[in-house]
Amino acid sequence: MQIAFVNYNENRGNNVLFGYSIAATSENWLHESMIAAVEKIHSLVDEGKRMPKWPNIFPDAYRERLSSRKGLAKRLAAYTKAIKSLSIAERESVLQALSSQNSISELLSRQCDCMDLEELPVASREPIKKLFTFAFGLLTDYGIRQRQYKALCETIPARICPFCGCEGLDAPGAPQEDLDHYIPRSKYPFAAANLRNLAPMGGRCNASYKHMQDPLRDNAGRRRIACDPYLTDGVSISLNNSIVDDVAADRIITEWVIDFQPTNEAIESWEEIFHIRERWKRDILDEPTFNQWLGDFRNYCRSATFRFTADNDVTDAIDRYEQYLSGCGFRDRSFLKAAVFRFMSVRCAQGCQRLWPLLRDLTGAPQPQNAPMPI
């Protein structure tokens, strides 16, 4: 789903995060062939029939394309042998896992559940893992991963990681970005080659934060709703509840308060997995960056040759700057910078006296008589 930036509105924050285009998952023939082959194996085993000659286990349209993959034939044979050793009930549990592990949208929205690898019959675990890990590797051999990444990069704003809104993604053709298994293949191997389960993310989001976390379950193992990288309407942010110190003479903002809209379990899961508030506060909304952004606003006012004769001229300039930044979207973290200046506009309208000397000084607006010196 493409991002749709909201129009400027004083009652809303800036729309951030966006969904990947579902069209980029359309070249999913390898995964579909694997599912069809496994279902065929189960059907033949249940009926007591022999396996077809290689590669006739696959759908007609893809047999020739897969016929040379002897490693795949070997792993399918091992899987078949393991399935034959199971009881009817055990085979049914494996088949149910095959289906449910690939119901990605329903799993993330908690409309269904699935067994993970450790809940399946012991004899089936290693053959499943080896078979679908091998299939995942074939995505690169056939160029499918590369084409999916290129298609995704062509649809996302500013080639920015959608999970944090800040980390850049390399251009197609560069060394492959992390194409994360959103639900981990170590637990849900049947979805290992499913493009619907592959979502590029920045290296830090993947390695330092998401890592092996399971979006379907929290750290205590409780089932949860999670954001769907391919089906999201975006999230609006607001900094308007941040705390200004009206007394101390040093730091102006004592705490940045980041609020998300909508507020729901999926947003909470996203924040918990990727540590968004912690990272934005520590890495972006720190005092040096805040001071730099104030300097950018001063330069903007000077280049625009605004005339500041009264306080309402200052607030008009802040609002114009916020609108300009909102239009910049994700470039240079403009969505957060816009939220900062929206916060300042709101606080000035509320009569926050701590900010006024600073803003008058930045814009060159006249200070009222007996006004405190700007900090």
User: How is 46-107 classified by DSSP, letter by letter?
Assistant: HHTPPPPSTTTTS-GGGHHHHTT-HHHHHHHHHHHHHHHTS-HHHHHHHHHHHHHTT-HHHH
pLDDT of residue 2: 29
pLDDT of residue 176: 63
Amino acid symbol at 39: E
Domain-wise residue ranges, the chain: 22-210, 234-363
Helix axes 334-349, 287-303, angle to 10 degrees: 80
63-67: list long-range contacts, CB under 8 Å, 24+ apart.
66/33
The residue ranges of the chain whose pLDDT is under 70 are 1-17, 175-179, 248-249, 369-375
Please give the Cα distance from 177 to 194 (Å, whole number): 17
pLDDT of residue 248: 65
| SS3 (DSSP) at 8 | coil
Please give the Cα distance from 232 to 262 (Å, whole number): 11
pLDDT of residue 369: 61
Other CB atoms closer than 10 Å to residue 71's CB: what's the count?
Answer: 12
**pLDDT of 134-183, one tens digit each?**
999 999 999 999 999 999 999 888 889 999 999 999 888 876 655 689 99
Please give the Cα distance from 169 to 91 (Å, whole number): 42
Please give the Cα distance from 134 to 272 (Å, whole number): 31
Asked if 188 and 136 count as a contact pair (C-beta separation under 8 A), the reply is: no
How many DSSP H helices and E strands does the chain contain?
A: 14, 7
pLDDT of residue 177: 56
**pLDDT of 26-72, one tens digit each?**
999 999 999 999 999 999 999 999 999 999 999 999 999 999 999 99
Cβ contacts of 310 within 8 Å, gap of 6 or more: 365
Other CB atoms closer than 10 Å to residue 341's CB: what's the count?
Answer: 24
pLDDT of residue 15: 46
pLDDT of residue 249: 64
Structure tokens at 119: 């809940």
Other CB atoms closer than 10 Å to residue 154's CB: what's the count?
Answer: 11
Q: Can you give the pTM of this predicted structure?
A: 0.88
